[in-house]
Structure 1
Amino acid sequence: MFDELVAAADGARGAGAVGAWARVENAACARRLAAAADILERLIAEAGAIDREQWCIDNWTIAAAEVAAAQGVSLGVASHQLLLADDLRRRLPRVAEVFATGAITYRTVAAVAHRSRLVRDAAALTKLDTELATQLSGWGTLSTEKLHTAIDTCVDRYDPAAVRRTEYAARGRHVDIYDPADGSGTATIEGTLVATDADALDVRLDAMAAAVCAHDPRTAEQRRSDALGAIAHGADRLACACGRRDCDAAAPTASAVVVHVIAREESLRDDTPAMLDGHVPYSQEHEPAGPATTDPAYLMGKGLLPAPLLASKLAATATRQPIIHPGNAAPEPRYRASARLAWFVRCRDMTCRFPGCDVAATDCDLDHTIAYPVGPTQASNLKCLCRQHHLLKTFAGWREVQHCDGTIEWTSRQGQTYTTYPGSRWLFPELCRPTAPAIIDHTADTDSDANEARTLKMPRRKQTRTQAREQAIDDERRHNQLYVDQHLAERNKPPPF
């Protein structure tokens, strides 16, 4: 089937070729999700899989890590794909068959899986799956809202308590912050708030934006944006940007929030002094200072900060911490790295070093690639791993080899290999200059209390992931049933006489 789709697309032209290759793309996506479901099934069939269900890093997370590494995406993205793959494999096999032909898109099957997830009865689910498989290919031109309505109509026919009610959306309220990889130094915020909180925030932003003097050069929308940033820093007002000494609104309020920015020394000062210890980069706790040059900085875990923003948005009273390259320094005689070594490793790596992970280095553990005390506490044996990937590496069978320049070669449980490089490789390559090779001590006491395997314990779940999902479905169905019962009672009332 897939080969036939490719052959048809090869022979198509113009808009026909666009549609034909879109169908190939859909069919390839279906096969990708099926491969992800295979990984999960293989893990669940392994010896010891039942015990892992109580682990914080359970079978699901282990499978998601393999899916994430294979595509270079985050654990969250991979977990969402795995949830859809599992639904298509276990709950919606007829819909999966249609998806495999390329007739429907990822967006469509994701909507079907989400909006039918509350259906519990096996017979009802089979009927729903069959009906949707018949209808879906004709719904390709529907808008998102109309697609949801069509799916909900089918769900309501077989299980009214499984329809996902609009008023239940408050449980999904959230605030997400996205950092576009365009070097603009800005971020996008998307969220859902309770209406009263949203109204209060809207009013407060307007009030703060209006409190500056008439000479402030920013637009009203820019002031509202900056006001939200001021709130994030704990300020109760927005500092005016007019630059006038006599402006009562010009003085900025002190911030108790700490952010970390890496910048070259010449980006922070008017003059260009000699490089400290032969190296340029600096780590900034809170906010960097001084006029900027053309060199961008890096906001830890978020991305580039252009030079103009470095100068205009960040305060002049920042604490500066030089990053000292360890060179050929000997290992430190302890498990926990010194502050100086730890800051070097964090600024060299910038993020978690597992394939596809972008967790900021400041939110990561420092992991010994070769466990201490056999492996030393030195730069060539240390890397940043977020807690999830630290646990995954320690307990779930991933192996790695670390090179002196910070490059890491990962090998998965099934033998796939991936290479990750320090984040500073492209921005501050000086930090990737090789350090002294790790000195392995094969005579070390591996039963020592300092052994990393003893210091990092696998947290256990109070509920398995399956139990938590079932409880969430129970709660939502219970809420929906109240709505259904009330609706039926109103509909069945006798007419007044």
Structure 2
Amino acid sequence: MATTTAPTTEDLSDVVRWQAMAEAYTIARMVDFRDAEMARTALLESPLRRKIERSAIALTIGEATGMSEAQIHLRLSIADRVREKTPQVWEAFVDGLIDFSRVRDISAAIEKLHRDESIARLEGRVIGYATSHTGAELRQWLRRFVQRVEADLAVERADTERADRRVTVTHGDDSMAWLNAYLPSHQAAAIEARLRKEARKPADLDDDRTVAQREADLLAAWCTDSDATTSAVDANIAVTVGADVLAGAAPGFAESTDGAWAVPAPWLADVVATGSTFWHRIVVDPVTDDVLSHEYVGRFAPDTLALALRFLHGVCQAPGCRVPSERCDLDHRIPHPDGPTTGDNMGPLCRRHHNLKGHGLLHWSTSPPQPPPEPLVIEIHPPATHFVMEYVAA
């Protein structure tokens, strides 16, 4: 009886490389056939005949390869773009180092770049990354590369797409329909986070709905129930932003911590001002990506900060009030959004004193702590004399 040997990991790697080389060879032959046909038809005297025959080139290739005309046009356009703009990427494809799906993603990134130096930077870095990471990781890397290397143009594209936001409803069979929304990523992420959190809260014993069904029911309720839509979006979302972008020195994006999405940094200001979704803002060095600070941006304190403030103060901070802090609201001494959501600007107030403060009737305990006065130093320099006067405010 014949025996077989199990393939090694090297065998599997070889197979994948051969497959990539075959893809590159196939597309290269498509390009050669197209170019030969373009040269042949250029000799035709009739412009109409030339136009008709050239329009059938993709169809002819498709018939020979079992692909549609759209698939052929896609491969030809990718080959033209990559060979012209990044010949080293094409050579890596020919050598089987990267497969067609990665070349396709790189081509899409090239299409978004408008400066020659940006494309050159991409060519110098992308091959090494593409050969050592998965396709999903490469797509995320390419998106971030485009956003960082040409941030100004990426922001313009994002603003253009934002203007096209919309909601569509497609009715299907069996009395069901699809509700689709084309939204800015940060808003969609906030909706997703709130749905996940609310749908996973403990349910009644007789509630036999799945988590997916609860999410669908919650979304429907928020869209149709006026009481449900007025509540805050109780969700925690973190983004990273470069210090230069935060300071307004350069255009750029605020990116989700998992890298799944990014939006122009100014877009978050509109959401933060509403005081709904709570944002954790991670400020990073624009060159090294080192974390410079972790800021809370939003009206409502995250759970860890809220718990710490209740432990720190213990009771309502109104004069003489002994209501336990766990039964109090967390109040901003300097009202939001002017005042930050930080430990030194927040403290517990019972509902009564919170209302009094809101009406301007409570001042003493909610005044922000004043820093110590800076010494006033006056220097007098007569000949051979030096006096220093220190002034301390009463």
Task: Return the structure number with greater relative CO, CA threshold 8 A, min gap 6.
Answer: 1
Q: What is the TM-score normalised by the length of structure 2? A: 0.37
Larger of the two Rg values belongs to structure: 2
> Larger strand proportion, structure 1 or 2?
2
Q: What is the TM-score normalised by the length of structure 1? A: 0.31
